[in-house]
Amino acid sequence: MKEKILQKFGEVFGGDTGAAVYFAPGRVNLIGEHTDYNGGHVFPCALTIGTYGVARQRADRKLRFFSMNFEHLGVLESSLDELKPDKAAGWTNYPKGVLWAFEEKGFEIPYGMDLLLYGNIPNGSGLSSSASVEVLTGFILRDMFGFSVTNQDLALIGQFSENRFNGVNCGIMDQFAIAMGKENHAIFLDTADLKFEYAPIRLEGAKIVIACSNKKRGLGDSKYNERRSECETALAELQEVVGIHSLGDLTEEQFEQYKSAIKDDVRKKRAKHAVYENQRTMQAVEALKAADIAKFGQLMNDSHVSLRDDYEVTGAELDALVEAAWEVDGVIGSRMTGAGFGGCTVSIVRTDAIDGFIEKVGAQYLKKIGYAADFYVVEIGDGPRAI
Distance in angstroms (rounded) separating the CA atoms of residues 87 and 344:
25
List the one residue out of 322, 354, 323, 356 whose CA is nearest residue 338.
Answer: 322
List the one residue out of 242, 300, 244, 306 whose CA is nearest residue 270.
Answer: 306
DSSP element (H, E) containing 377? strand 374-378
Task: Give me the catalytic one of 174, 190, 302, 310.
Answer: 174
Size (the chain), residues:
387
Contacts of 73 (CB under 8 A, 6+ apart): 67, 90
Residue 219 DSSP SS3: helix
Q: Is-catalytic flag, 174?
A: yes
Q: What are the DSSP calls for 267-334, one per residue?
A: HHHHHHHHHHHHHHHHHHHHHHHTT-HHHHHHHHHHHHHHHHHTS---HHHHHHHHHHHHTSTTEEEE
Q: In this structure, what DSSP letter does residue 38 have?
A: T
Mind telling me the catalytic residues? 174
